[in-house]
Structure 1
Amino acid sequence: MLLIKNGKIFTMVGDVIDKGDILIEDGKIKEVGKGIEAPNGCEVIDADGKMVMPGFVEAHCHLGLFEDGIGFEGDDGNEYVDPVTPQLRAIDGINPMDITFKEAHESGVTTAVTGPGSANVVGGQFAAIKTYGNRVDDMIIKEPVAMKIAFGENPKRVYNNQKKSPVTRMATAAILRETLFKANNYIKKLEKYKDDPSKAPEFDMKMDAMTKVMKKEIPLKAHAHRADDILTAIRIAKEFDVNITLDHCTEGHLIADYIKEENKDAIVGPTLSDRSKFELKNLTFKTPGVLHKAGVKVAITTDSPVIPLQYLPICAGMAVKSGLEEMEALRAITINAAEIVGIDDRVGSIEVGKDGDIVIFDGNPIKDIGCKTVATIIDGKIVYKSKE
């Protein structure tokens, strides 16, 4: 058991608790409040004068798939030879011993939603994992958590170089529609011949992976920067009645009212970077604030390794500087991120029954660049503690 005492607790779902306590038992939060007595044998952390938060949640990255400091040998984020690869699973490419995991949890990021890159129209299955551990099987929160798809320049560039489709936005949309249509038919045939296996369709690994999308068990996770690509993503999701999140959403501030009208969530970023391609020409930290004011639920992403994952709170702070409310910026890297990706039953806030993922800071991590992590706790275990 572990008891955190006397901290300034930001639960992210209610009022801030001054001089508050958190009791964790068997990896789960057992009690939150004031004046909690330490049970016999319980380890106690005195957080007096410290800011206590749920571990940060990164809603879109490629942690463990593009390994740090090496090239092809550690590049496992994209299967460049086929524009439709839904059968790929992030967990089979993640290296949890990469140094970026240590950097992440030492900075307070305890959960990462990680998966394939954006080379393909359909890239594969994302996983939500903890950022501490040696075996990915033991780190999983939810797998799969989403199916990656991509619009805009990236698929065009990759397959133009191979002189094969897609080389236009029209082809990208058509390939995605065809895949969704085939998945629908595959499900219908399975259902029609469920009592006569001899007539059932032959197992198709790609279509089997897509059934989770068609049944709304997981959403499409749409890489879309430009406004027209964002709207195309929404259009296709509506056509096939599937769930979708808008990832990157770089020009979301230009169409905020439409995104709100369609009741879609936005995972915004990476913004702490240069405008490396044409579709980023309107890149600005104002986007999260504009979307929030329009009523859109917003998460902030580093898209690690584009921005190293440990700088997630800095990205939230830059959004505050450009107009996003401070508490909303904190929500954007905790409870909002967890809700958008569908893992808020486990992480994203300090509530009884949720995972014991807690971070203690000596200041406000989105306001003070010199703020240090005092301790990181994942599943009730202290995985990092400052020596100072």
Structure 2
Amino acid sequence: MYLIKNGTVHIGDGTVLECSDILIEGNKIIEIGVGIKREGAKVVDADNMHIFPGFIDPHSSIGALGMPTRYADNKEATSPITPELNIRYSIDPDEVNNQEFYKSGITSIGIAPDNSNIVGGQITVFKTAPMKMNKRIVKDKAALKCSVAKEVKEEYGGKKQLPMTRMGIFYLLEETLRKSKCNKQEKLNESDEIILSAFDTGKLPVFCAACTKGEITGLLHILEDKKVSLNIVDAFGFSDCIEEIKQASANIILGNINYMSQLAKHSMSLSKVNELIQNGNLIAFSNSNGGSSEGREVFIWNGIEIYRAGIEAEEVVKMMCINPAKMLGVDDRIGSIEVGKDADISIFTDHPVRSYAAKVVKSIVNGEVII
């Protein structure tokens, strides 16, 4: 049992509690308040510190890249349509361990197939601290990864195989959805069941990579009459089609905006994120770009970049905590500091969105002190 005392508690949903305590028993948060006392609890002094829920990177390839050999176990390049694949079976826990994500406050990641397939397979939400596998999986089959980005053309165009062009990508996507819908009246195979769960009933969230304005608007057009919980990944061209995104109520997971000057390359106006926030679209960000991922520091650097664009610090915190949890359908367990949720907590010396100098001094995952 741990009792964190006298810290500034950032709940993760925009709420901040000054000089507050958190009581942890087992792997759960059991009490939040002021002046909490519990005999036998190990006290963690958080005076003048900032306490956050564990951050969530909702879209990461780390854990399935096959480091250091680069076998790319997140890339099944035998067919552009592979919804039945489950990234869980490609996860290498040691690859995640070596990144020490928790040292930057990241305690969970959504491990995803890369951008090479139009329908690439299912995402697993995975905790970053080294512990037994069954303690680390927050949710298996949390979302369906798709892509209409250039990586699809790069993978299959070189093989002289459909799709070689963007029109080929959208044709195959539309045809896949049509065939699954036609098969609805018959006995469905696993592939059709997954497609219908994602694009017909909206039960399975869709994470679809689309970078440019053309890719984003094409995707929204294809899905305009579908019941789908859509999260657009990378989305560097979002500010050029803001009205279409607002109308579609699509969520955005910005890729690594610091990678190769993406802000300048796409003439991105980060301040327009505020328009989406006001409209009710969920915004998050990741350390990935083009289906591959950078190191742990990049995640917070992206948050700082968004803050510098004029977004309030606690809105950025929501993008790191509760928003990605909602996108992945795991907000019942992680994403905020609330009674009954997993005890995934990071204690910083300062506010990491406001200060580059902020450092993690204590990381707790599943109620276990990691550092």
TM norm structure 1: 0.88
Structure 1 gaps, min length 5: 191-200
Q: Is this contact kept in 2: 1:147–1:221, CA < 8 A?
A: yes
- Who is 2:326 aligned against? 339
**Deviations for 1:40-99, whole angstroms, at most 9, x for unmatched residues?**
32221111110001010111111201144x2433x2121112111112111100111115
Q: CA deviation at 1:382?
A: 0.8
**Which is higher, the Rg of structure 1 or of structure 2?**
1
Aligned to 1:144: 141
Does 2:24 correspond to 1:27? no
In structure 1, distance between residues paired with 2:134 and 2:183: 30
CA contact (8 A) 2:62 2:293 kept: no
1:318 matches 2:315: no
Q: Does 1:182 align with 2:179?
A: yes
Distance 2:219 2:228 in 1: 11
- Bigger CA drift: 162-171 or 10-19? 10-19
Superimposed CA distance per residue, residues 173-226 of structure 1 (whole angstroms, 9 cap, x where no aligned partner):
111122222222333213xxxxxxxxxx6xx34334334324322122110011
Aligned equivalents of 1:188, 1:147: Cα separation in 2? 23
Distance 1:209 1:15 in 2: 37
* 2:324 counterpart of 1:376: no
Distance 1:253 1:281 in 2: 9
Residue 230, structure 1, aligned to residue 184, structure 2: no
Please give the secondary structure, in 2, of the residue aligned with 1:239: coil
Contact 1:268 / 1:287 at 8 angstroms: preserved in 2?
Answer: no
Q: Is the 8 A contact 2:324 2:335 kept in 1?
A: yes
In the other structure, the counterpart of 1:109 is 106
Task: Pick from 232, 238, 246 the counterpart of residue 246 of structure 1.
Answer: 232
Residue 139 of structure 1 deviates from its aligned partner by: 1.1
Q: Distance in 2 between matches of 1:84 and 1:206?
A: 9
The 1:282–1:67 alpha-carbon spacing in structure 2 relative to 1, beyond 3 Å, is: farther
RMSD, aligned CA: 2.3
Look up the match of 1:7. 7
Q: 2 CA distance for matches of 1:275 and 1:18?
A: 38
Shift of 1:22: 0.5
- What aligned pairs does 1:264-343 form with structure 2 within 5 A after superposition? 264-274=250-260, 281-283=266-268, 285-286=270-271, 288-289=273-274, 291-292=276-277, 295-303=280-288, 305-343=292-330
SS in 2 for 1:165: coil
Shift of residue 135 of structure 1? 4.5
Other structure's SS at 1:97 match: helix
- What is the Cα deviation at residue 36 of structure 1? 0.6
Q: Which amino acid aligns with 1:346?
A: R
How high is the TM-score relative to the length of structure 2? Answer: 0.92
- Further displaced range: 363-372 or 281-290: 281-290
Contact 1:96 1:135 in 2 (8 A): no
- Which of 113, 117, 123 aligns to 1:126? It is 123
Task: Extract unaligned runs of 5+ from structure 2.
Answer: none
| Residues 272 and 307, structure 1, Cα contact 8 Å, conserved in 2 | no
Deviation of 1:238 (Å): 2.8
Report deviation, 1:367: 2.1
Q: In 2, distance between residues paired with 1:282 and 1:274?
A: 13
Supply the distance in 2 between the matched residues of 1:32 and 1:24 (Cα, whole angstroms): 9
Give the Cα separation in 1 of the matches to 2:268 and 2:367.
38
| Structure 1 counterpart of 2:51 | 52
Residues 309/289 of structure 1: CA separation in 2 closer, same or farther (3 Å cut): farther
1:112-142 per-residue CA deviation (whole Å, 9 max, x = no partner) reads 1111000011111111111123544431111
